[in-house]
Amino acid sequence: MNELEDIEIQLLLEGIFNYYGLDFRRYAPVAIKRRIQNILYLEKLATVSALQAKVLHDRAFFEQFLGYMTVNVTAMFRDPSFYLTFRQKVIPLFKTYPFVRIWCAGCSTGEEVYSLAILLHEEEIYHRCRIYATDINETVLKTAKAGIFPLRLMQEYTQYYLQAGGKQSFSEYYTAAYDRAIFRAFLKENIVFAQHNLVCDRSFNEFNAILCRNVLIYFNQSLQQQVHKLFYESLCLFGILGLGNQETLPLSQRERYYKQLAGRERLYQKIS
């Protein structure tokens, strides 16, 4: 049965690639299988073949399926030590630049993008920065563009913000309306939200920093290498690469082209 299910999963991923142009074929097999089994349970479907029929024949369901498949676990100032270290070690470098371009790849619903905008604002360089926030999933990008998040999370986010070296009252950055926190419009002024697929899309600019945190862990080794090549080619000399706390530079020839800025926080600088 497991062997048949594996074949069905391969056919499903091939079908999605050929019909929608989205490539999940090189995601980590264990993660893919776990997510698909979860979808079968939630949608009360008996087989992967039944799921394939719905995905390929119902565009609305495919959008829902995409939400299941793309992990959107995020938070404002998630892993506060990362932002504190970024503030201490990267911002002084950026303050010497006339203009800064930052790519947040796999931005999900945007919490980390707004966190970065707040940090840059407090360091008085946001006016000369441009943040490119991209994700494969158009639905989560709509949430990110809106900048509206559950009010119940703000107490937890405030703690993260303070641990990340926040300099003001976190509540100054949003307006509370019923059960929602609506973030200030000025935070979006220098953010460009766009759909981008790390698996098959190319670079679209040269960046002073690329942040892609806790995304690559869901890719297999060859896809990780491919994405790291994309990041290397997209970073300018002395550009900063920020990864998730479970990720490292792959063992490849590109590893020697980076200097480690902060090992625990997974911050690297391109030096060659």
pLDDT in tens, 140-179: 899 999 999 999 999 999 999 999 999 999 999 999 999 9
The identity of residue 149, as a single letter, is: F
pLDDT at position 269 is: 95
Beta strands in the chain (DSSP E): 100-105, 129-135, 148-150, 174-177, 180-183, 191-195, 207-212, 235-243, 258-262, 267-270
Find all residues with CB under 8 Å of 58, minimum gap 6, and list them.
none
pLDDT at position 1 is: 53
Distance CA 69, CA 189 (A): 30
pLDDT at position 28 is: 83
> Cβ distance 155 to 95 under 8 Å?
no
Q: Average pLDDT of 53-58?
A: 93
- With pLDDT > 90 as the criterion, what percentage of the chain qualifies? 68
Give the predicted TM-score (pTM) of the model. 0.86
Find all residues with CB under 8 Å of 11, minimum gap 6, and list them.
48, 49, 52
pLDDT at position 250 is: 65
Q: Average pLDDT of 248-255?
A: 66
Interstrand relation of 258-262 and 267-270 (parallel, antiparallel or unpaired): antiparallel
- Burial class from Cβ neighbours inside 10 Å (0-12, 13-18, 19+) for residue 126 reads buried
Identify the band that residue 253 occupies on the pLDDT scale cut at 50, 70 and 90.
low
Q: Average pLDDT of 189-210?
A: 94
pLDDT at position 110 is: 94
